[in-house]
Amino acid sequence: MREGLLLRTIWRVVPGMIQCVVLLAYAIALSGFAAEVSPARRPNIVIVLADDFGWGDVSAYGGKVPTPKLDLMAREGIRFSQFYVAAPICSPSRAGIITGQFPARWRITSYLQTRKGNRACEQDDFLSTNAPSLPRALKAAGYATAHIGKWHLGGGRDVTNAPKFAAYGYDVGLGTYESPEPHPDITATNWIWSAQDKVKRHERTRWMVDQTLQFLRERKDTPCFVNLWLDDTHTPFVPSPEQLAAAGVTAAEPTPRQKYRAVLVEMDRQIGRLLDGLHESGLARDTLVLFLGDNGALPTFEQTRTSGLRASKLSLYEGGIRVPFIAWWPGRIPARSVNETSVLAAVDFFPTLCSLAGVKPPSVSAFDGEDMSAALLGRNFTRTKPLFWEYGRNTNSFAYPKEIYDRSPNVAVREGRWKLLVNANGSGAELYDVVADRNETRNLIAERSAVSERLKRMALEWRRAMP
């Protein structure tokens, strides 16, 4: 309507030949307007998962080691202060991302290991292919899909019958040792890493970034989904001499903390290469990159890697499950955004990414997570579902933090500002206001008895409902 009025006005006020010139310019402008408002192509999606990566491993989150590339990613996108993974250890955390469900539903509550070890942990040997699968949903909608890096959802050791990557919906699977299809360049022996690997331990992050960029460049006309799941910053820390020097480490015998510093500096540099590669390939504005850790840090180096959050990997206190989360999508995510209030979780990825990609997911009732796309795009988001965790089904077969103070009860729930932890037998309940007291220093179990009893009942009912 407005365009027609503008056209009639032009026709009345300009004479003769000028009309033709103006009309041509108008047509060009109008076509540009149409292109601007037409639906954009479905975005590429890259989930960058860093291993054993603490809240304080990014300097933008208060970390002591400079991470300029991750900080730049945060400035160009949005970073979140209340983001949770699904478990304080790798395998169940990863299952939460893939399924959009709490991993206890699929009998994965610790890291997957030998068959005997899995039985002792009362868990399965691999993620069931009956579980919902984010890559499978995206592939069915026309996405090219790849897994690159650490898998740890089945395969390795004596588990030889784990499903292949294709069973979960991946076109390409380049796994590490703990996967059904370890890539020969990074798996020369029957173990996680060795000096015989073609790609050495200190080169693995670079190799994984290279493989990701190659996958995206070769499919520029197709929307792509990629897991870029790094095995840094997991121990052992094995930097090269050049990486030590780049991190300012000059000691002839570097300490574990100095080696960690070098590994983190190199990982940060490779994240910069990933983002630069997207720009150079003309893919940046069509690509959503999500960066997070799979669980809290270990070792914590006197809690510096948690920026003061209590505990570490292997614990349901904040230091084990609250991790950095940065989202980057030039032109779509408002730059220099910081979200301090929204409570988000890795189980939200499945419904959220389907929403952003215009893909119909499985039944919404199947998800424990929620569509948080509004938060990713810089708008308000208020969680309507509680979050639940379980870690440690028995006291014999699960690893726990060495410090008694850091060993949490084995079930937890977060609702609103409240977080309650309790043992599955109902003992040892603790309540924290993690908005006012994110370091969990003040147990309010007695002062807030009504809240405590309600959340305790909720947590234990949830735990009893799990397989």
**pLDDT in tens for each of the 467 residues of the chain?**
333 334 334 344 444 544 444 444 433 343 333 332 234 589 999 999 999 999 999 999 999 999 999 999 999 999 999 999 999 999 999 999 999 999 999 999 999 999 999 999 999 999 999 999 999 999 999 999 999 999 999 999 999 999 999 999 999 999 999 999 999 999 999 888 899 999 999 999 999 999 999 999 999 999 999 999 999 999 999 999 999 999 999 999 999 999 999 999 999 999 999 999 999 999 999 999 999 999 999 999 999 999 999 999 999 999 999 999 999 999 999 999 999 999 999 999 999 999 999 999 887 678 999 999 999 999 989 999 999 999 999 999 999 999 999 999 999 999 999 999 999 999 999 999 999 999 999 999 999 999 999 999 999 999 999 99
Co-location of 369 and 444 in the same domain: no
Collapsing DSSP to helix, strand or coil, 430 comes out as strand
Check: pTM over 0.85? Answer yes or no. yes
Instruction: Specify whether the CB–CB gap between 225 and 247 falls below 8 A.
Output: no
210 DSSP 8-state letter: H
Rounded Cα distance, 46 and 97, in Å: 13
**Cα(196)–Cα(201) distance, rounded to whole angstroms?**
10
Are residue 410 and residue 335 in the same domain, yes or no?
no
Question: Would the CA dihedral through 164, 348, 462, 120 be positive or negative?
Answer: positive
- Residues 33 and 48 reside in one and the same domain: no
Domain hosting residue 33, numbered range: 2-37
Q: Please tell me whether residues 169 and 229 are part of one structural domain.
A: yes
Within a domain: 382: no
Question: What six digits make up the tokens of 429?
Answer: 């309940």
Read off the CATH number of the domain in which 297 is found: 3.40.720.10
284 and 424 housed in the same domain:
no
Q: Are residues 234 and 339 in the same domain?
A: yes
Residues 48 and 25 in one domain: no
> Does residue 381 form part of some domain?
no
Give the full edge-to-edge strand order of the sheet including 172-175: 172-175, 144-149, 224-229, 44-50, 287-293, 325-328, 78-80, 337-339
Say how far apart CA 318 and CA 306 lie, in whole Å.
9
- Is residue 224 within 8 A of residue 215, CB to CB? The reply is yes
Domain count of the chain? 3
- Strands, E, within 240-357: which ranges? 287-293, 325-328, 337-339, 344-345
Which alpha helices (H) appear in 198-348, and where do they start and end?
Answer: 204-217, 241-246, 256-280, 318-321
Please answer whether residues 443 and 430 qualify as being in contact, where contact means their C-beta atoms are separated by less than 8 angstroms: yes
Same domain, 17 and 157: no
Residue with tokens 């870029």: 228
Query: Is residue 357 located within the same domain as residue 451?
Result: no
The DSSP string of 63-125 is -SS--HHHHHHHHHSEEESSEE-S-SSHHHHHHHHHHSS-GGGGT--S----HHHHHHTT--S
State both tokens at 60.
Answer: 């933008």
Rounded Cα gap, residues 155 and 181, in angstroms: 8
In a shared domain, residues 202 and 307: yes
